[in-house]
Amino acid sequence: MAQPNAKIRLHVAADLGPSLEVELVRDKAHYLFGVMRQREGDRLLLFNGRDGEWLAEVVSARRKTGTLRPIEQVREQSESPDLWLLFAPIKKARTDFIAEKACELGCRRILPVFTRHTASERVRTERLHAHAVEAAEQCGLLSVPEIAASTRLETVLADWPKDRQLLFCDETGPRPPAIEVLRRADPGPWAVLIGPEGGFSADEALQLRKMKLAHPVSLGPRILRADTAAVAALTLWQSVLGDWR
């Protein structure tokens, strides 16, 4: 549950340090001064995914730009566990939701993948990035996951990293529960793959079954929507192998 933020938190691209002023781009200035009514002298929190969290002060506030001055670092940078989420894009609102939740649940990288049965035609990477940034700002995160360009699933799997395990939810047969597979597994780099609502094609299923690093699992006896399956699988991974322990 999100606690009420004592201060506004803003993700910026600029480096953060004691003598580095931050120039705001137009949409950040509009949000901070137009929407949130901040003025010169007001204080807020900044993070950029590299330099921790900084208390900062508004030095100048104009309509389309503004300057912030970092005052002191209040949290050191820390990294989320090395977890990726691969998912087949679905309806717009649910795709946005998946990006938001993957961020809250501490994924480092989000990869939209097109499968044979993916209904969605395209993914707006910037839109997903904006949702992830908003979640990071509101939920006190220190970094925003990278949103990869959308790619075909078979292409991603053909070039799969040699050291990254893959948890995928497979409804084609009896599978061990996700929690059991994770309990017997090694930590290290992992990814979770959530398939499309139409399921994987025969070719995709075959490609997955051939991968030694891929682990088919079950997420219970009920059919889950793709967005629910994503949150459930990421929660179980974080609880068993990630930083919820």
Rank residues 5 and 161 by Cβ distance to a copy of itself and give the closer one. 5
Q: How many chain residues are in contact with a copy of itself, going by CB under 8 A? A: 47
Q: What distance lies between CA 22 and its chain's CA centroid?
A: 25
Rounded-to-integer distance, Cα 4 and Cα 29, Å:
22
Rank residues 120 and 218 by Cβ distance to a copy of itself and give the closer one. 218
| Residues of span 166-205 touching a copy of itself by CB under 8 A | 169, 171, 177-179, 194-199
Q: Could you tell me the smallest distance in angstroms from the CB atom of residue 27 to a copy of itself?
A: 23
Contact track, a copy of itself, 126-165, x by CB under 8 A: ---------x--xxxx------------------------
Rank residues 106 and 112 by Cβ distance to a copy of itself and give the closer one. 106
- Interaction of residue 239 with a copy of itself, rule CB under 8 A: yes
* Of positions 11, 28, 101, 215, contacts a copy of itself by CB under 8 A: 101
- Interaction of residue 226 with a copy of itself, rule CB under 8 A: yes
Beta bridge partners of 68: 22, 58
Nearest to 74 by CA among 22, 9, 29: 9
Per CB under 8 A, residues contacting a copy of itself are 1-4, 97, 101, 104-106, 135, 138-141, 169, 171, 177-179, 194-199, 218-226, 228-229, 231-232, 235-236, 238-240, 242-245
